[in-house]
Amino acid sequence: MASSNMTAGKRLTSALVATVLSVSVVAGVGVLLHKLSADPNGTLVATKEADTITIDGKVYPKASLTMGVYADKEQAAEDGFTGMKNDWVQYGPSNHLILPANTYVTMTIHGYDGGEELNNPYFGKVIGTVGGTVNIDGEDITSLPYNKIQHTWTLHGIPSSSQDPLFVSVPLLRVEEDDNGWVPTKDPITNLKGHTITFSFLTKGAGNYVWNCEFPCGDDTYAKFGAAMSGYGYMSGKVTVTA
């Protein structure tokens, strides 16, 4: 009692003010999370295929989907994707992928961006794909050097969730640049403007996952983790595995 000279009434008032403040902070965070989780460009549903594949004696149905990753809005528009507001590096055409459970999923990413250097060489490795490889312009590889990468596509679970674990990470080969701009690639599928990157992985049970780029490709606000890296939908998104 001696440590405080507040009256009981003042103590009650300040307790109420603190409670109201913390409730409004929680409400604000809730609104923010809801806004972050809205899908700016709808969902991208994997296409189920007619045939199956047998891996280690088990038969899996097959599904596939295609995405692109772009240096800016102009490159995205050339590939028919105009969904994002800011002129940042971006994935398209959607950032919320819907995949069937217990399926062999083949993902193709057309990558049109250049790159700098990874700050963690770990993400130069291919992790979690069938065969441990990614096919880039027709060639199977297991890793890329830290200075040859434009972005990564990294799929993982949410901490503390009880669903099946799923972890896939693929480095995407960069497009080179010189004094004249983009150097043509050897990939006719992208009209020599990018790389065609294909990999497959097995989904398990239904669940909610996230994907993001582990390449620090944002602006300098937070050591390259600003802008595109912190704005939802550019270098990150959701993956829903449905039963």
Under the binding rule (CB under 5 A), the answer on residue 235 touching Cu ion is yes
Shortest Å distance, C-beta 228 to Cu ion: 7
213 lies in the site for Cu ion, by CB under 5 A: yes
For residue 213, report the phi and psi dihedrals to the nearest 5 degrees: -95, 135
E strands, 58-206, in order = 58-70, 90-92, 96-100, 104-111, 134-136, 139-141, 149-156, 168-173, 177-178, 181-182, 195-202
Cα distances from 119 to residues 123, 146, 147, 225, in angstroms, run 9, 8, 10, 11
Q: Is 174 in the site for Cu ion (CB under 5 A)?
A: no
CB of 89 to Cu ion, least distance (A): 6
Q: Decide whether 104 or 211 has the Cβ nearer to Cu ion.
A: 211
217 binds Cu ion (CB under 5 A): yes
Q: Which residue's CB is nearer to Cu ion, number 61 or number 231?
A: 231
- Nearest distance from residue 236's CB to Cu ion, in Å? 9
Residue 11 DSSP one-character state: H
Nearer to Cu ion, 157 or 231 (CB): 231
Residue nearest to Cu ion (CB): 213
- Taking alpha carbons only, the member of 125, 181, 173, 119 closest to residue 148 is 173
| Positions in the binding site for Cu ion (CB under 5 A) | 151, 213, 215, 217, 235
